[in-house]
Amino acid sequence: MDWLRKHSWFIILLVGLVIINLLGSYYFGRIDLTEEKRYTLSQATKGLLEEVDGAIFIQILLEGELPADFKRLKQDAIEMLQDFRATNDELTFTVLDPLFGEPDQVADRLEDWSKVGILPTELNIRSQDGQARKRIYPFAIFNYGDRQIAINLLEGNTEGMSPEVAINNSVSLLEYKFANAIAKLMADHKPNIVFSQGQGELTPIQTASLKGNLSAFYNVGNVYLDSIVQIPEDVAALIVAKPTEQFTDKDLFKIDQYVMRGGRVVFLHDPMVVSLDSIGKYGQYVPYNNETNLEDLLFRYGCRVVPNLVLDLESSMIPMSKGRPTQNNQPQLFQWYYHPLASGFGDHPIVKGLDRIDLQFPATVDTVKTKTAISKVPLLTSSAYTRLQYSPVILDFSILSKAPDEAKFNAGPQKLAWLLEGPFTSLFKNRVTTQMQAGLKELGTTFLDEGAPAKIIIVGDGDVARNAINPLNGQVRPLGYNRYVNYTFDNMDFLTNCLEYLLDRKGLIDSRAKNVKLRLLDRPKIQAEKTKWQIINVLVPLFLLIFSGFVFQYLRRRKFGVKL
């Protein structure tokens, strides 16, 4: 009993640790001490998980031999799902090796996955035997009843990025991707997205890639404004993609009243008519203004697409031959300054973590003062090496014959896309007669001169949504794919994110803005202070161990020693 009394504190500590470990095996939890709260789920995500009323099973395809960076992605994905499961235990998950099994089974499995977009990422892996190519499937498959969604855990294109930055971007978006997948699995119906037609917009085959991507989660169709009385209320979003003909006042009125009712609209507008084909066809080309009659409408809402051309030293490439093409004079790739590679501006959820966006003859977009309080957020910007050209200007390929004069590319970053949010004022305010109002009443609607909060996105380039088409077989190429450099830019993700943001009713898109800071080591300082920190890490623990041993022995002798 004396021994138990003397060591009661030790027994209590031991029992406490056993109880904590037992509880920890049944309940998951942790204290988030990070600056950016990376381990804390957003309220929108928690609310979504509380609504889950059935079993959701997730498969993470990141088992097996992985590089260190992908091991981190795997671990963070597991921890994120553990956080989800702590909120709702209807979620279960497992980690699988996609290449495990008999060769025939693996081949069949990979073929089935390829049909739903699960494609491998090829990596060069260093080993003792040299370098080898390895296929990695950074995907998670969500299953809910008979519904299934596969999401890519690796964010965007990683070429040109360091592995640390690429994985960090991917980790920061795990919560949004997981929550978004669950929300889509649970959705009772698909929202309706329509493309306007009848004003020379992009044709259905030119937007086939974007529509195909959206159709997995939305009902996608076309609407001819001249054939309807008003845009139906069940239209969740309207896309006006590169119109080249004038809108009538009646058509503008229909768009305007849709916005007044809180609608969501994406305007992809070219203020000038020009294309690479037109220059190649005529040798020289003078762009002219694209008269669509949208200018006053956009101006009233708070934006102006300037009739200019943005040139950028950071641009995509086109093939050109020096002199006449011969067997020994093959086309070479040149920077085509009229096709800037735009970047996302800031950390808004729409553009966070995106790769470059491939634009073609874009224009700058300015904001103007509005009568109502409208939130205006820039989305896309050119690089610091930008030049502006205004009409009239002659375009030809002579600009490629010599090195660019960098002194002329001094306009600085230019805003190429904006997000507007708020209660807009109607373009037709004080212009609707009593007779028109009576006619609207007969149609079962009323005129609104100031509207409910709405959202509008304006991009100064219509070709951002245009996919290329293979001239040999007519096959639609992925949106953003540049065949000259064999690279797919993030046009698809940008436009998809635009619509995700416009239609997000649960606030899940806010979790896309969560930052996971990449705290890199100061390598020059490491080299300069390497010896000092090695000594501290090796000798200080030994010193503390020896010192504590002497103190323990001293106290023990003082307490139990025999006095002579």
Mean pLDDT, rounded, of the chain? 83
Residue of 75 and 128 predicted with greater confidence: 75
Residue that the structure tokens 């991917």 belong to: 170
Taking the CA atoms of residue 249, residue 255, residue 258 and residue 260 in that order, the dihedral angle to the nearest 10 degrees is -70
**pLDDT tens digits, residue range 406-417?**
888 999 999 999
Q: Assess whether pLDDT exceeds 90 at residue 148.
A: no
Is 557 within a domain?
A: no
Q: Pick from 144, 177, 184: which is nearest to 76 by CA?
A: 177
Q: Specify the amino acid at residue 175.
A: E
3-class SS of residue 342: strand
Half-sphere exposure of 472 (CA within 13 A, CB side): 1
Give the whole-angstrom CA distance, residue 263 versus residue 478. Answer: 28
Give the whole-angstrom CA distance, residue 345 versus residue 416. Answer: 10
Please state the rounded mean pLDDT for residues 429-436.
Answer: 82
Residue of 45 and 365 predicted with greater confidence: 365
Q: Assess whether pLDDT exceeds 80 at residue 300.
A: yes
Is 450 within a domain?
A: yes
Give the whole-angstrom CA distance, residue 116 versus residue 299. Answer: 42
Q: Domain residues for 412?
A: 189-322+329-489
Domains of the chain: total: 2
Please state the rounded mean pLDDT for residues 236-255.
Answer: 94
Question: End of a domain among 185, 214, 233?
Answer: 185
Give pLDDT, residue 160: 47
**pLDDT tens digits, residue range 159-188?**
445 667 677 778 888 888 888 888 888 877
Q: Pick from 94, 207, 200: which is nearest to 141 by CA?
A: 94
Give the whole-angstrom CA distance, residue 230 versus residue 527. Answer: 69
DSSP 428: T
**pLDDT tens digits, residue range 318-362?**
887 654 444 455 678 888 999 999 999 888 888 887 889 999 999
Residue that the structure tokens 């992009």 belong to: 202
pTM for the whole structure:
0.76
Task: Output phi, psi for 562, to 5 deg.
Answer: -95, 125
Contact 353, 155 (CB under 8 A): yes
Question: End of a domain among 451, 468, 489?
Answer: 489
pLDDT > 70 fraction of the chain, expressed in percent and rounded: 83
CA–chain centroid gap for 353, Å, is 6
Distances (CA, A) of 73 to 148, 349, 521: 22, 20, 20
Give pLDDT, residue 516: 53
Contact 58, 91 (CB under 8 A): yes
Give the pair of three-digit tokens for residue 234. 């069940």
CB atoms within 10 A of CB 321: 11
Residue 175 and residue 48 share a domain: yes
Distances (CA, A) of 447 to 233, 234, 254, 537: 15, 18, 10, 75
Please state the rounded mean pLDDT for residues 124-146.
Answer: 75
Residue 257 and residue 176 share a domain: no
Q: Minimum mean pLDDT among 20-34, 163-177, 308-322: which range?
A: 20-34
Q: Assess whether pLDDT exceeds 50 at residue 107.
A: yes
Give pLDDT, residue 458: 97
Burial of 483 (0-12, 13-18, 19+ CB in 10 A): exposed
Q: Specify the amino acid at residue 276.
A: L
DSSP 18: H
Residue of 306 and 67 predicted with greater confidence: 306
Please state the rounded mean pLDDT for residues 50-74.
Answer: 85
215: left (phi over 0), alpha (psi -120 to 50) or beta: alpha
**pLDDT tens digits, residue range 492-507?**
989 999 998 998 866 7
- In this prediction, residue 387 has a pLDDT band, given cuts at 50, 70 and 90, of very high
Which residues are registered as beta bridge partners of 310? 388
Q: Assess whether pLDDT exceeds 80 at residue 424.
A: yes
Q: Minimum mean pLDDT among 73-87, 292-306, 324-338: which range?
A: 324-338
Give the pair of three-digit tokens for residue 525. 């300082």
Give pLDDT, residue 39: 62
Residue 224 and residue 109 share a domain: no
Is 12 within a domain?
A: no
Is 173 within a domain?
A: yes
Pure H helices in 249-383:
249-260, 276-282, 295-301
Residue 376 and residue 242 share a domain: yes
Please state the rounded mean pLDDT for residues 523-532.
Answer: 70
Give the pair of three-digit tokens for residue 549. 């041993």
Give pLDDT, residue 562: 55
Residue 225 and residue 117 share a domain: no
Residue 265 and residue 124 share a domain: no
Residue of 319 and 25 predicted with greater confidence: 319
Q: Minimum mean pLDDT among 32-41, 168-177, 361-370: which range?
A: 32-41
| Enclosing H/E stretch for 339 | strand 332-344
Contact 292, 303 (CB under 8 A): no
- Cis bond upstream, residue 392 (ω within 30): yes
3-class SS of residue 501: helix
Give the whole-angstrom CA distance, residue 496 versus residue 115. Answer: 20
Domain CATH code at residue 417: 3.40.50
3-class SS of residue 204: helix
Give the whole-angstrom CA distance, residue 351 versus residue 380. Answer: 8
DSSP 392: S
Contact 268, 241 (CB under 8 A): yes
Residue 228 and residue 157 share a domain: no
Give pLDDT, residue 27: 55
Question: End of a domain among 151, 185, 219?
Answer: 185
Residue 110 and residue 75 share a domain: yes
Give the whole-angstrom CA distance, residue 347 versus residue 357. Answer: 16
CB atoms within 10 A of CB 493: 23
Is 482 within a domain?
A: yes
Residue 475 and residue 392 share a domain: yes
Give pLDDT, residue 204: 92
Q: How many residues does the chain have?
A: 564
Is 109 within a domain?
A: yes
Q: CA-based Rg of the chain, rounded to a whole angstrom?
A: 30
Residue 236 and residue 101 share a domain: no
Provide the sign of the torsion angle of the four alpha carbons 499, 502, 507, 513, taken in this order. positive
Residue 479 and residue 350 share a domain: yes
3-class SS of residue 415: strand
Is 508 within a domain?
A: no
Task: Output phi, psi for 175, to 5 deg.
Answer: -60, -45
Residue of 465 and 68 predicted with greater confidence: 465
Give pLDDT, residue 224: 94
Give the whole-angstrom CA distance, residue 426 versus residue 434. Answer: 17
DSSP 293: S
Give the whole-angstrom CA distance, residue 288 versus residue 291. Answer: 9
Residue 201 and residue 178 share a domain: no
CA–chain centroid gap for 530, Å, is 40
Domain CATH code at residue 180: 3.40.30.10
Give pLDDT, residue 240: 96
Is 412 within a domain?
A: yes
